[in-house]
Amino acid sequence: MVKRIVALLLGALALHGTSLPAAAEANGDGKAAAKPRQIILISFDGALDNRLWQRSRDFARRSNIDFTYFLSCATLIPRERAADYKAPGMKAGRSNIGFAPTVEDVATRLDHIWAARNEGHEIANHTCGHFDGKEWSREEWLTEFKTFDRVMRDAWKDNGLADQEPEGWSDFVRNDISGFRAPYLSAPDSLFAAQKAHGYRFDASTVTDAPLPPKEKKGLYRFGLPLIPEGPSDRKIIAMDYNLFIRHSAGIDHPSKAADFTERSYKAFRAAFDAQYHGDRVPLQIGLHFVEMNGGAYWAAMERLAADVCHLPDVACVTYSKALALMADDRRRLAQSGQRQDAIEATGSLTP
């Protein structure tokens, strides 16, 4: 199954414009040296606001980019049915992010999820109630994963929309959702054990000191959001909108300063991209939420970056699953061409 999925992904990537031969630069002996593609992974946590679903999908169509949406499944449960959800160690009906306001709101979101999937985007798990699971056991994480699967699988039926469920929805939930990001980036060892047991292929919950390729351990590929230089003194910060929001305005919304915060964030994102694009080409990750903090400054900075770079030669702005397929392909190609070990290592230890 995995080999079939990877083959389909590589075929889709060829149609999506990311199958160009990797760039070459001169070696010390004057011979051309192939480089891996520059991968950019832009993702959203939560995926609640239907207006931002539409905005992100519309932008993606213009900008040669596929997003990963880390979905919180409480957004598929209307408030009137809140008691249907019970997180480990919590009372039924509790969620840190609330629930959907109405069935109509859920129906719109389900349409966006299915349309996004068909457009080449990826849907991944961000739990249901957005609780901090740092104290959860392996079994408690597995309980939350199973709840996510059930809510996703039965979302149309449970909301009285069974006659609108697309053909293939159950197969999508069962086979296509293969990754996870923990709320608050809280990732105990019990989480990784549960992910492996549940059959997930990648995790995106950790933080790394700089852009690094994912690490594979027992079949699970671990991506870490990188620390990148930002601001006048180039102090490092997690490449995520919430962290920028806290640094720029102490978590207090200042829409009047949106232009300044956009410019500052864009410069940080672009410098991080340029360092990799003209360097070893380690994948670059940027995380956002479905919230327009500081007047939408961080969405605007992301959109400006993607519009500027996703059309560049040898750049692939793709989902996490597609990135794994691309990196594996680059690794094989570089190894066959006899490239330097450091160039190969930039693609990670990836074998689908």
pLDDT, tens digit, 9 for 90 and up, residues 36-77: 999 999 999 999 999 999 999 999 999 999 999 999 999 999
3-state secondary structure of 220: strand
Distances from the Cα of 294 to the Cα of 43, 63, 108, 243, 299, angstroms:
19, 24, 26, 12, 10
**How far, in Å, CA of 257 to CA of 261, rounded?**
6
Within a domain: residue 29?
no
Burial of 162 (0-12, 13-18, 19+ CB in 10 A): exposed
For residue 18, pLDDT beyond 80: no
Closest to 310 in 3D by CA, of 270, 271, 282: 270
Domain range spanning residue 63?
39-345
3-state secondary structure of 286: strand
Within a domain: residue 11?
no
**How far, in Å, CA of 219 to CA of 200, rounded?**
9
- The residue that leads in pLDDT, 8 or 91, is 91
Within a domain: residue 83?
yes
**How far, in Å, CA of 50 to CA of 307, rounded?**
22
**How far, in Å, CA of 40 to CA of 282, rounded?**
9
Q: Which residue has the tokens 């996870």?
A: 180
Q: What is the pLDDT of residue 7?
A: 40
Within a domain: residue 10?
no
Number of domains in the chain: 1
Within a domain: residue 352?
no
Specify the DSSP class assigned to residue 26.
Answer: E
Within a domain: residue 22?
no
Bridging pattern class, strands 284-289 and 38-46? parallel
3-state secondary structure of 300: helix
DSSP sequence for 65-127: B--EEEE-GGGGSBGGGGGG---TTS-TT--TT--BS-HHHHHHHHHHHHHHHHTT-EEEE--
Give the pTM: 0.89
Within a domain: residue 188?
yes
Contacts of 274 (CB under 8 A, 6+ apart): none
Each residue's pLDDT tens digit, 327-342: 999 999 888 877 655 5
> If you average pLDDT over every residue of the chain, what do you get?
90
For residue 310, pLDDT beyond 50: yes
Within a domain: residue 118?
yes
Q: How many residues does the chain have?
A: 352
Distances from the Cα of 254 to the Cα of 17, 128, 298, 344, angstroms:
38, 30, 12, 44
CATH no. for residue 311?
Answer: 3.20.20.370
